[in-house]
Structure formats: C-alpha cells, structure tokens
C-alpha cells in the first residue's frame, strides 16, 4: 500500500542485507514498485516559495550526490549546525513523527569528515534527512529521496554548483516523480548509532 512522505508517494521500501556502496537512497518506480528507468540528472534550478523565500533544487545521480553535497556544505559559513532527521526506523517502519537530533557550533572540517566517513548511511540509505546550516542563514538539505535543497538562492551557491559542473536548467527531479522506492541497509543501523555518538547529537524539538 503506497504511503506518502512530504509530496512524494513511497511505493515500497527495501532492506538490503549486503550493502552495495552505490545503492541509491531512493529509486523512481511505477505503482507496482518496479523501477521505471528514470535517470536522475545532474542539474539545478531556482525556486520561489510561499512568502517570497528562495531556494535551489539540486539533482545528482547516486554516484555524484556525495561530491555535490560536500561541495555545497563546504560553501557554508562556519561554524555549522548539523541536524539529523530520522524519517524511518528500519525495524519498525516509517515514523509517524520524524525524530530530530542536533549538534551545533561544529567546525566545517569536522562536518565534511563525518560526511565522508558515514557516506553509506548518509548517501545510500533512505532512513534520514541531513540538514546542515551555516551562519548568515545558509542551509543545505539532503532529503531521504536524494534530492538536495539549498537555502537561499544565492550567487555563492550558484557559483559553487557551476564550478563543479552542475548545470542550471529546468529538469524533472526525483521530487517530481509519482512513486519512489526508498532503500535501507542493515549495516547502516550501526553507522547511525556511531554517528549520533560521535557528533553528540541530542534530541531537538524544532
């Protein structure tokens, strides 16, 4: 039975006992949960939200999400705030209310090291969202379906994306798909526990 997370319908979830490094956080599927052949482009586009707030929607293929995400986090002004949002418990299923855990005043180098060390959990497992915020309101969000959002739409982040070869163009993103299958790996359970401990993440009611 399909269910929804935000504006995306999740047709099914899978749990992998043998973690594959390039397994995407999520895949576009049809109503029966079968892959529909959609290929995530490498592109970004500006968006204007209700109230006049702006952001960039950034898409990247599964094997390039980590590089694009790290580059954008590297463009934020430190110190950084790291918010881990658990959307799903692999054992229990989708959570009725996401769990938020936060650490603040983090050096940028430490955050970038953590992103690399815990890449299987962050970039290849769909249980979480990662929110990284800098000074001056800059923020990078990696959703559970692998889509990136950058707040606000600023030349700093556009220049960063242009420099790493991400093209600005109108495109269909994973967030536009009707059905999305989110992937989980049992090995990521332990990585999640280690990440929470290493960063000293504490519960946060946003």
Q: For 102-160, how does the pLDDT look when each residue is reduced to its tens digit (9 = 90+)?
A: 999 999 999 999 999 999 999 999 999 999 999 988 999 999 999 999 999 999 999 99
- In this predicted structure, what is the pLDDT of residue 93? 86
Q: Does pLDDT of 12 surpass 80?
A: no
What are the boundaries of each domain within the chain?
41-172+187-203
| Residue at token pair 């109503």 | 31
Dig out the tokens for 146 from the structure: 């692998």
Angle, in degrees to the nearest 10, between helices 108-117 and 188-199: 170
Q: For 165-186, how does the pLDDT look when each residue is reduced to its tens digit (9 = 90+)?
A: 999 999 999 999 999 999 998 8
Please choose, from the candidates 134, 114, 102, 110, the residue with its C-alpha nearest in 3D space to the C-alpha of residue 66: 114
- In this predicted structure, what is the pLDDT of residue 4? 35
**In this structure, what is the dihedral angle of CA atoms 25, 6, 135, 60, given to the nearest 10 degrees?**
40
Q: 14 by DSSP, 3-state: which?
A: strand
């Amino acid at each position: 039975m399909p269910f929804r997370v935000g504006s995306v319908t999740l047709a099914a979830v899978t749990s992998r006992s043998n973690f594959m490094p390039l397994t995407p956080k999520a895949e576009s599927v049809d109503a029966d949960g079968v892959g529909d052949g959609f290929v995530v482009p490498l592109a970004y586009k500006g968006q204007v939200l209700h109230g006049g707030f702006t952001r960039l929607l950034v898409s990247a293929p599964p094997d390039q999400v980590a590089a694009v995400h790290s580059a954008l986090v590297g463009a934020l002004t430190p110190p950084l705030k790291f918010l881990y949002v658990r959307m799903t418990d692999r054992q229990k299923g989708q959570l009725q209310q996401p769990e938020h855990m936060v650490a603040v005043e983090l050096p940028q180098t430490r955050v970038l090291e953590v992103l690399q060390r815990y890449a299987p959990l962050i970039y290849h497992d769909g249980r979480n969202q990662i929110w990284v915020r800098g000074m001056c309101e800059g923020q990078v969000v990696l959703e559970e379906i692998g889509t990136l959002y950058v707040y606000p739409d600023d030349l700093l982040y556009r220049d960063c994306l242009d420099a790493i070869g991400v093209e600005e163009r109108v495109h269909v993103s994973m967030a536009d798909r009707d059905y999305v299958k989110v992937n989980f790996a049992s090995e990521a359970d332990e990585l999640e526990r280690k990440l929470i401990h290493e960063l000293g993440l504490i519960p946060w009611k946003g």
